[in-house]
């Protein structure tokens, strides 16, 4: 049975009966003069799909709450209605300023999806990153808010596709993504600039025995994918005989494995946006590792912000975080950097992510909120910076005005 679509007269009668008033423009919590059409691109067909979907839902709700017309786009799923007018995908759900949530509002990320099932999806995607029928929706937007993770978003593949089609998007350039997605390359650049990071060794997929034979780092070790995020494929190994199996886990998605010297200590993460470095967050868990389950399962970890550090330690770590952001060329957008405070009192760099998670348990929005930037304003700020980067007129007042 076909669904009845109300006529314009029927819709006007319905709004009269329900006393719907046109919303004021601009939204009092927005710094923009008028609402935008924003496509939030999330999902993906990789192991970080569920983290991406949770982040995307939170961003959609935040931007719609500010009065923007937002299309929620799953990069791995074709439109339900083929050939639908792209304009019909952009929906609003404005929320009164006092009722806006100051933090991500979305379901928490579920366990990683089945990779074998996703392999079939990847074979049908446009250029390996976008399902058929989605490009017209993205082209209809004023800005695409990219929150696809893994080798589709964080590697720069999605950004390169959008660049080729002249579509404006949030976040870093394809070149920055390509660098920061590769952990070994990132560590090398930072080590060359004097930033401490644990010793590392790359084990190529298909050359495990050969590459382990020349491993010169004493155990115990951390083994993880050389590219990827959300601590998927992470293992702690204290027996050399277990290294081949750990490398196989790390290489499950076809990537090389990275073996790092294990550094005991406390874990910290810090958010950055342009030249602004936010509060230091400490991640605390009773699990052996701060892994995927610890990150995204409610109750498996807690986060303390601001972290329990001395004034000197906090200042030093924030300076170090800003230096990482600068050296890697991330520019006028966001990043999240992870460090560990070792037994010798030094902070060592683990990794950075210029497309940080935005789930209810993610550290990046927690870091920014602790310094007074609520989640809807954070999302709109990222949109404004994308507009500015493309040369569009943007408001002089933004959400990141330094406290007076």
User: What would the DSSP string read from start to end of 69-99?
Assistant: EEEEEETTS--SSTT--GGGG-B-----GGG
- Architecture per CATH, 266-354: 2-Layer Sandwich (3.30)
Tokens of 67: 């009065």
For residues 229 and 337, give the distance between their C-alpha atoms in angstroms, rounded to a whole number: 12
What is residue 69's predicted lDDT score, i.e. its pLDDT? 95
**Predicted TM-score of the model (pTM):** 0.89
For residues 266 and 283, give the distance between their C-alpha atoms in angstroms, rounded to a whole number: 8
For residues 138 and 72, give the distance between their C-alpha atoms in angstroms, rounded to a whole number: 10
- Residue 8: how many other CB atoms lie within 10 Å: 7
For residues 233 and 252, give the distance between their C-alpha atoms in angstroms, rounded to a whole number: 8
Task: Please classify residue 369 by burial: count the beta carbons closer than 10 Å to its beta carbon, then call 0-12 exposed, 13-18 middle and 19+ buried.
Answer: buried
Backbone angles phi, psi at 348, to 5 degrees: -115, 140
DSSP 217-277: PPSSEEEEESB--TTTT-EEE-SGGGHHHHHHHHTTTS--EEEEE---SEEEEEEEETTEE
Q: Which fold has domain 8-171?
A: Rossmann fold (3.40.50)
For residues 290 and 303, give the distance between their C-alpha atoms in angstroms, rounded to a whole number: 12
Pick the CATH number of 199-261 from 3.40.366.10, 3.40.50.300, 3.40.47.10, 3.30.1490.20: 3.30.1490.20
3 state DSSP class of 157:
helix
What is residue 107's predicted lDDT score, i.e. its pLDDT? 87
- Topology agreement, domain 8-171 and domain 199-261: no
Map out the domains of the chain as residue ranges. Answer: 8-171, 199-261, 266-354
What is residue 187's predicted lDDT score, i.e. its pLDDT? 97
What is residue 10's predicted lDDT score, i.e. its pLDDT? 53
- CB proximity list for 3: less than 8 A, separation 6 or greater: none
pLDDT tens, N- to C-terminus, the chain (404 residues): 344 445 555 545 544 444 434 444 578 889 998 899 999 999 999 888 999 999 999 999 999 999 999 999 999 999 988 888 999 999 988 888 888 999 999 988 767 777 788 888 888 888 889 999 999 999 999 999 999 999 899 999 999 999 999 999 999 999 999 999 999 999 999 999 999 999 999 999 999 999 999 999 999 999 999 987 656 788 999 999 999 999 999 998 778 999 999 999 999 999 999 999 999 999 998 777 776 677 767 677 789 999 999 999 999 999 999 999 999 999 999 999 999 999 999 999 999 999 999 999 899 999 999 999 999 999 999 999 999 999 988 876 777 764 44
Measured between its terminal Cα atoms, the distance across the chain in Å is 61
Q: State the number of CA atoms in the 13 A half-sphere of 258 facing the CB.
A: 27
> Torsion-angle region of residue 299: left (phi > 0), alpha (psi -120 to 50) or beta?
left
Alpha-carbon distances, residue 62 vs 53, 56, 69, 103, 371 (angstroms)? 14, 10, 11, 9, 18
Residue that has been written with the tokens 């076809």 in this structure:
254
Q: Which of 66, 8, 77, 72 is nearest to 39 (CA)?
A: 72
């Amino acid at each position: 049975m076909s669904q009845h679509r109300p006529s314009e007269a029927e819709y006007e009668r319905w709004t009269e009966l329900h006393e719907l008033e046109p919303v004021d423009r601009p939204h009092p919590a927005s710094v923009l003069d008028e609402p935008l059409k924003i496509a939030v691109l999330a999902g993906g067909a990789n192991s970080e799909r569920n983290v991406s979907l949770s982040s995307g839902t939170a961003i959609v709700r935040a931007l719609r709450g500010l009065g923007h017309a937002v299309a929620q786009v799953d990069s791995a799923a074709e439109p339900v209605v083929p050939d639908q007018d792209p304009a019909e995908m952009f929906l609003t759900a404005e929320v009164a300023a006092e009722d806006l949530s100051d933090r991500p509002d979305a379901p928490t990320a579920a366990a990683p999806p089945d990779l074998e099932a996703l392999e079939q999806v990847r074979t049908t995607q446009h250029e390996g990153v976008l399902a058929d029928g989605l490009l017209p929706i993205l082209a209809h937007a004023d800005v695409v808010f990219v929150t696809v993770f893994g080798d589709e978003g964080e590697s720069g593949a999605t950004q390169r596709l959008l660049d080729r089609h002249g579509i404006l998007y949030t976040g870093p350039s394809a070149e920055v993504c390509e660098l920061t997605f590769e952990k070994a390359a990132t560590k090398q650049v930072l080590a060359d600039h004097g930033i401490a990071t644990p010793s590392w060794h790359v084990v190529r997929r298909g050359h495990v025995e050969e590459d382990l034979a020349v491993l010169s780092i004493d155990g115990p070790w951390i083994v993880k994918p050389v590219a990827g995020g959300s601590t998927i494929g992470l293992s702690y190994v204290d027996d050399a005989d277990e290294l081949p199996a750990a490398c196989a886990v790390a290489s499950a998605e076809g990537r090389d494995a990275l073996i790092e010297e294990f550094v005991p200590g406390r874990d910290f993460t810090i958010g950055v946006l342009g030249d602004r470095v936010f509060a230091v967050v400490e991640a605390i868990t009773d699990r052996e590792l701060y892994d995927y389950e610890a990150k995204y399962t409610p109750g498996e970890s807690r986060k303390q912000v601001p972290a329990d550090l001395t004034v000197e330690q906090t200042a030093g770590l924030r300076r170090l975080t800003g230096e990482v952001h600068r050296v890697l060329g991330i520019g006028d957008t966001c990043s999240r950097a992870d460090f560990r405070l070792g037994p010798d009192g030094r902070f060592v760099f683990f990794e950075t992510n210029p497309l940080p998670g935005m789930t209810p348990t993610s550290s990046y929005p927690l870091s920014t909120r602790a310094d007074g930037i609520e989640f809807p304003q954070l999302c709109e700020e990222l949109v404004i910076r994308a507009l500015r980067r493309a040369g569009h007129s943007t408001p002089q007042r933004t959400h990141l005005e330094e406290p007076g």
